[in-house]
Amino acid sequence: MADGKSKSNLPPLSLHVPEPRFRPGDAVDYSDLDIPNAGEQARPDTNTEPKAMRDMVYDMIRVLDDDYKAVGPWDPRLDDDKLLEMLRTMAQVRAFDDRLHRQQRQGKTSFYMKCTGEEATSVAATMALDKEDMCFPSYRQQGILFARGYPMVEMVNQIFSNREDKLKGRQLPIMYSSRELNFFTVSGNLTTQYPQAVGWAMASASKGDDRIAAVWCGEGSTAEGDFHAAMTFAAVYNAPVIMNVINNQWAISSFSGFAGSERTTFAARAAGYGIAGLRVDGNDPLAVYAATQWAAERARTNQGPTLIEHFTYRADAHSTSDDPTAYRSAQEREEWPLGDPIMRLKRHLIQRGVWSVEQQEELDWQCVDAVKAAVKEAARNGILGHGLHQPFETMFQDVFEEMPWHLQEQRVQADKERAIKWPDAEAPEQ
């Protein structure tokens, strides 16, 4: 009160600070987590009005049941070859992650991020898109490149920032880019890709094109202003875009409650903006594929954008700069009720009679050997600590079509200072 006196009949104000349920050393119990049975979720027509399907943002689309059979209306009914391709791709992503993580620990690169446990949210989703559709990834969607056939050695060159790095050492490791595969450059700034994806989708629609956009971010990024600006534009202009939120429960050291998960689901943000929203078992590759396929058809037929929350779990550290044992229970990964996407798809294929444990073991070794070969080849082009891999003058190039006067002056000054400090170095090309 203005006079310094409080009203005696009111309790003092208090602030709620989100607190994770489990800390290091705690026993983990997910029994109160609402996981619906597979196959029970209705599949609305793609032209259904968002307000008529609001219950979808609180439900969870699941296809693989406890016996690893595909059930229910969301079963995409993929053939064996497609499913085996999906399994091989996810297995290759995981083998790549494991090997490159070790390369960072050995000092061959400065940084790496794994997507262990989240492979389906990028691989299965990408396989449900057209190859001409534009993907705007976050920094944990390396599976998109694997699904589209990007060479592993090129990825390792970028991670090592060596002389064959197509991005010339200008990007942090794992921030890939591929114009040819319609893979927008990964950005370290959270959620900048969201308004970019919506803007790209709006441009595609304004030109009368048939290409749609898909964008990914983590659940923590939904607290960024860029996320909400993108949602507004997507809703207002009916942009043909799929907006994926990877709810893996944790940011680098804070749990999803800081982004709002204690109040409602992340899919519920769609209802607030009046667009279609789906909540999906992110560790069920068939559910991820089916939901993306549904959203893609909706976007391609001018029915508007879709927000998909992929309910999953970050099974490993946020990055090589993170130690999850400092802030979460080690039992969380073991007790996660939705299991592992690779294991679940493997058992589904075994249940179908087209795969075996022995074939999976052979596949895993093949994936490891392929990564070893890619790393060995890329290392010939240089690794961290081998000195300057790119020509000195490249730091001034590729920003403007014609170099402006002020950059020309800066280049000349830099050349002079370099000659003074390192007189024995080769003169840069002009």
Same domain as 211, residue 103: yes
Query: Which residues form the domain of 410?
Result: 392-421
In a domain, 108, yes or no: yes
Tell me, what's the pLDDT at 427?
Answer: 58
Q: How far apart are CA 265 and CA 232, in angstroms?
A: 18
Q: At 118, which CATH number?
A: 3.40.50.970
Tell me, what's the pLDDT at 4?
Answer: 59
In a domain, 2, yes or no: no
pLDDT per position in the chain (430 positions), as tens? 556 566 678 889 999 999 999 999 999 999 999 999 999 999 999 999 999 999 999 999 999 999 999 999 999 999 999 999 999 999 999 999 999 999 999 999 999 999 999 999 999 999 999 999 999 999 999 999 999 999 999 999 999 999 999 999 999 999 999 999 999 999 999 999 999 999 999 999 999 999 999 999 999 999 999 999 999 999 999 999 999 999 999 998 899 999 999 999 999 999 999 999 999 999 999 999 999 999 999 999 999 999 999 999 999 999 999 999 999 999 999 999 999 999 999 999 999 999 999 999 999 999 999 999 999 999 999 998 887 788 888 888 888 999 999 999 999 999 899 889 888 766 555 5
Same domain as 174, residue 239: yes
Q: How far apart are CA 29 and CA 265, in angstroms?
A: 20
Residues 153/108, Cβ–Cβ less than 8 Å = no
Tell me, what's the pLDDT at 243?
Answer: 98
Could you write out the DSSP letters of every residue in 46-97? Answer: TT--GGGGGGGGTS-B--B-TTS-B-STT-----HHHHHHHHHHHHHHHHHH
Same domain as 259, residue 365: yes
pTM (2 d.p.)? 0.94
Q: Which residues contact 78 (CB under 8 A, 6 or more apart)?
A: 86, 286, 289
In a domain, 45, yes or no: no
Tell me, what's the pLDDT at 118?
Answer: 98
Residue 70 forms beta bridges with which residues? Answer: 64
Same domain as 397, residue 275: no
Q: How far apart are CA 308 and CA 305, in angstroms?
A: 10
Same domain as 417, residue 341: no
In a domain, 430, yes or no: no
In degrees, to the nearest 5, what angle opens at C-alpha 318 toward C-alphas 37 and 365?
75
Residues 247/266, Cβ–Cβ less than 8 Å = yes
Same domain as 400, residue 252: no
Q: How far apart are CA 181 and CA 335, in angstroms?
A: 37
In a domain, 357, yes or no: yes
DSSP for residue 310: E
Tell me, what's the pLDDT at 395?
Answer: 85
- The values of phi and psi at residue 64, to 5°, are -85, 120
Instruction: Identify which of 211, 325, 308, 318 has the alpha carbon closest to the alpha carbon of residue 266.
Output: 308
In whole angstroms, what separates CA 244 from the centre of its chain? 8
Same domain as 360, residue 278: yes
Strands 241-247 and 213-218: parallel
Same domain as 191, residue 103: yes
Q: Which residues belong to the active site?
A: 314, 318, 327
**Letter for the amino acid at 119?**
E
Strands 134-136 and 241-247: unpaired
Q: What three-state secondary structure class fits 184?
A: coil
Tell me, what's the pLDDT at 180?
Answer: 98
Same domain as 398, residue 336: no
DSSP for residue 355: -
Same domain as 271, residue 400: no
DSSP for residue 185: P
Instruction: Identify which of 189, 31, 212 has the alpha carbon closest to the alpha carbon of residue 133.
Output: 212
In a domain, 24, yes or no: no
Same domain as 408, residue 360: no
Q: State how many domains the chain has.
A: 2
Q: Which residues contact 344 (CB under 8 A, 6 or more apart)?
A: 64, 68, 283, 284, 285
